[in-house]
Amino acid sequence: AMCRYAGYLSKSFLPEDHRRALELLKEASELGSFEAAFALACLYEEGKCGVAKCRKKVREYHLIAALRGCIVSQQKLANEELDRGNYEIGFLWLKTAAKAGDDLAMTSLRGSYEKGLVSREAYNDTASYK
């Protein structure tokens, strides 16, 4: 409910509504909502709702959301780590998303296996969840 109300407030043109939306999202995130953590990551990525763009906050909130099971955040972290050349961490996030049923992550892992970047065991272990 907090996330939904925050979403409503974030569409307002009033700065005080934006502040309240941000407060609600932070509170919901602290209470364990991965949806709120993901929404905060998006706000900091886009610089909306009265917050400045901040890559550090984007990563922080995506990490919180990913650890709580947000597949989109898991995908974003995987792609970021793979782009940086941190293959072990990137593939860990891809496997986590794939095991949660994400088809895009499974497709990425299949492609990585075909390129020899992921072992057969790691790929088969993940594929068994589908």
9, 30: one domain:
yes
Can you tell me the distance from the alpha carbon of 130 to that of 127, in angstroms, rounded to the nearest whole number? 6
**Weakest mean pLDDT among 22-31, 60-69, 97-106, 107-116:** 107-116
7, 55: one domain:
yes
- 18 and 9 Cβ atoms separated by less than 8 Å: yes
Residue 6's pLDDT band (boundaries 50, 70, 90)? low
- Residue 17 DSSP symbol: H
Last residue of a domain, one of 68, 92, 122: 68
57, 31: one domain:
yes
- Residue 43 DSSP symbol: H
| Higher per-residue pLDDT: 57 or 114 | 57
Last residue of a domain, one of 22, 48, 68: 68
Distance of alpha carbon 120 from its chain centroid, rounded? 27
pLDDT at position 129: 58
Crossing angle (nearest 10°) for helices 55-67 and 71-84? 130
Query: What's the whole-model pTM score?
Result: 0.80
Range of the domain at 63: 1-68
Last residue of a domain, one of 20, 39, 68: 68
